[in-house]
Amino acid sequence: MWIQMDGAPPHFARNIRHFLDQNFNGRWIGRGSPIAWPPRSPDLTSSDFYLWGYAKNLVFEREPTTREDMIERIRMACRAIPRAVLLRTVEHFAKRIRLCIRANGDNFEQLFR
């Protein structure tokens, strides 16, 4: 398993990088990681532009009561994502790449309609 972190300051803290080095040795992407996160990289992945928001809505339909409840809600939300939703996010990926290329790597969200 790999983990991907952006360059946000909280993700760059020494204790966070140490934890990632210990638990994802050589398998994490981010600022200060074995695999660098490209500067100003557009978030093209399906999870970034859609899926996390979809799952978050499922998780927070009701307020979590405990840490274990939150973990279980996240697991259930991931299992509950319909196959059709996953396929649509993959289909949109190619379109997002083409728009990114057309915008020369600049912001292209306004082009995505």
Q: What is the pLDDT of residues 25-60, one digit of tens each?
A: 888 888 788 877 766 565 667 677 778 888 889 899
52 and 82, same domain (yes or no): yes
Full-model pTM = 0.52
So what's the pLDDT on residue 70? 92
Report DSSP letters for 30-99, one per residue.
Answer: STTSSBPPPTT----SHIIIIIHHHHHHHHTTS---SHHHHHHHHHHHHHHS-HHHHHHHHHHHHHHHHH
Residues 106 and 69 in one domain: yes
Q: How much is the average pLDDT of 4-18?
A: 81
Tell whether 107 and 53 lie within a shared domain. yes
DSSP 8-class letter at 18:
H
- For residue 85, give its domain range: 40-112
The domain total for the chain is 2
